């Protein structure tokens, strides 16, 4: 049975003190349910966040990692380092990393391998640009991103993969894909996985939607059959908005 997940990507927001305040408030206001809740603070706030969340059902994820175990990669953080502070989930492939840090499908495949080798769970992001949608290429782009970074994996690896479909044109823009657009793409993604692996595997993969999810639209988007939750950016920085989105399930 696939999980329902709401994950908050803080991006480069919240210093140590802000993070402690936000996490404490979240812990107070969060009502436990079947939905898994994940927050992804910046690296400097991972440890304090997981300490503050000990004993709660909210998990902590990193926003990125390097593919090497260690070595001369100034400024980078490895899977082993994340694991050493108890972080075992990582977001990979976010469109901002693809756009601003030149992360390609080939690089992401290496990061995916490194995360899995370290027994980490991956929230793998992908999605088309507005120009792709306008030219009717959104399915081909999404299929390519998934295939290139993930289809070399054996079926057994997929227990550690969560997918996050995030149309680039909807991220941080206030423009959301309609619930129907999200459902259509999620169904296409599930079919693509079924074609490569099996129907049982495809039915077990959680596929999150990301792109301007807010309390006002979350319920309708989450009600769609193939939408298993959300990856939330801006609204995850506000505890009342984030908890309202969690409660939308």
Judged by CB under 6 A, the residue of 49, 64, 78, 212 near ligand PEP is 212
Decide: is 142 part of the binding site for ligand PEP (CB under 6 A): no
Interface with ligand PEP in residues 165-184 (CB under 6 A): 166, 171-172
Q: How far is the CB of 63 from ligand PEP (least distance, A)?
A: 9
How far apart are alpha carbons 150 and 110 in whole angstroms? 10
How far apart are alpha carbons 243 and 123 in whole angstroms? 20
Task: Name every residue whose Cβ is closer than 8 Å to that of residue 79 and which is 6 or more positions away in sequence.
Answer: 65, 69, 90, 114, 115, 117, 118, 120
Q: Is 166 a catalytic residue?
A: yes
**Please, which residue, 26 or 235, has the CB nearer to ligand PEP?**
235
Choosing from 96, 103, 138, 166, the catalytic residue is: 166
Angle at 219 between CA 213 and CA 225, to 5 degrees: 100
Question: Segment near ligand PEP (CB under 6 A), from 35-43, 82-90, 138-146, 211-219?
Answer: 211-219
Judged by CB under 6 A, the residue of 182, 202, 208, 213 near ligand PEP is 213
Task: Name every residue whose Cβ is closer than 8 Å to that of residue 17 and which is 6 or more positions away in sequence.
Answer: none
**Please, which residue, 23 or 170, has the CB nearer to ligand PEP?**
170
Q: How far is the CB of 162 from ligand PEP (least distance, A)?
A: 13
Q: Token digits for 197?
A: 């692996």
Alpha carbon dihedral 102, 103, 104, 107, in 10-degree steps, equals: 130
Task: Name every residue whose Cβ is closer than 8 Å to that of residue 148 and which is 6 or more positions away in sequence.
Answer: 105, 106, 108, 109
How far apart are alpha carbons 79 and 120 in whole angstroms? 8
Q: Is 66 a catalytic residue?
A: no
**Please, which residue, 81 or 182, has the CB nearer to ligand PEP?**
182
**Please, which residue, 39 or 202, has the CB nearer to ligand PEP?**
39
Q: How far is the CB of 241 from ligand PEP (least distance, A)?
A: 10
SS3 210: strand
Name the closest residue to ligand PEP (Cβ): 233
Q: Which residues bind ligand PEP (CB under 6 A)?
A: 9, 166, 171-172, 210-213, 231-235
């Amino acid at each position: 049975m696939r999980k329902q997940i709401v994950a908050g990507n803080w991006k480069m927001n919240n210093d140590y003190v802000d993070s402690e305040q936000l996490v404490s408030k979240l812990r107070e206001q969060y009502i436990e349910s079947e939905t898994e809740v994940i927050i992804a603070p910046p690296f400097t706030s991972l440890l304090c966040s997981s300490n503050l969340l000990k004993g709660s059902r909210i998990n902590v994820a990193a926003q990125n990692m390097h593919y090497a175990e260690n070595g001369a990669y100034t400024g980078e953080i490895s899977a082993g380092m994340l694991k050493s502070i108890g972080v075992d989930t990582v977001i990979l492939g976010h469109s901002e990393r693809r756009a601003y840090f030149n992360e390609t499908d080939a690089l992401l495949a290496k990061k995916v391998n490194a995360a899995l080798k370290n027994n980490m769970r991956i929230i793998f992001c992908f999605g088309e640009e507005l120009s792709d949608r306008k030219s009717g290429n959104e399915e081909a782009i999404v299929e390519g991103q998934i295939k290139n970074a993930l289809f070399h994996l054996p079926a057994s690896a997929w227990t550690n993969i969560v997918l996050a479909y995030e149309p680039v044109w909807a991220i941080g823009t206030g423009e959301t894909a309609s619930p129907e657009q999200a459902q259509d793409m999620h169904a296409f993604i599930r079919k693509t996985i079924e074609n490569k692996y099996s129907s049982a595997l495809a039915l077990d993969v959680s596929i999150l939607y990301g792109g301007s999810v807010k309390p006002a639209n979350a319920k309708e988007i989450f009600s769609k059959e193939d939408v298993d939750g959300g990856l939330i950016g801006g609204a995850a920085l506000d505890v009342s908005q984030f908890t309202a989105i969690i409660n939308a399930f």
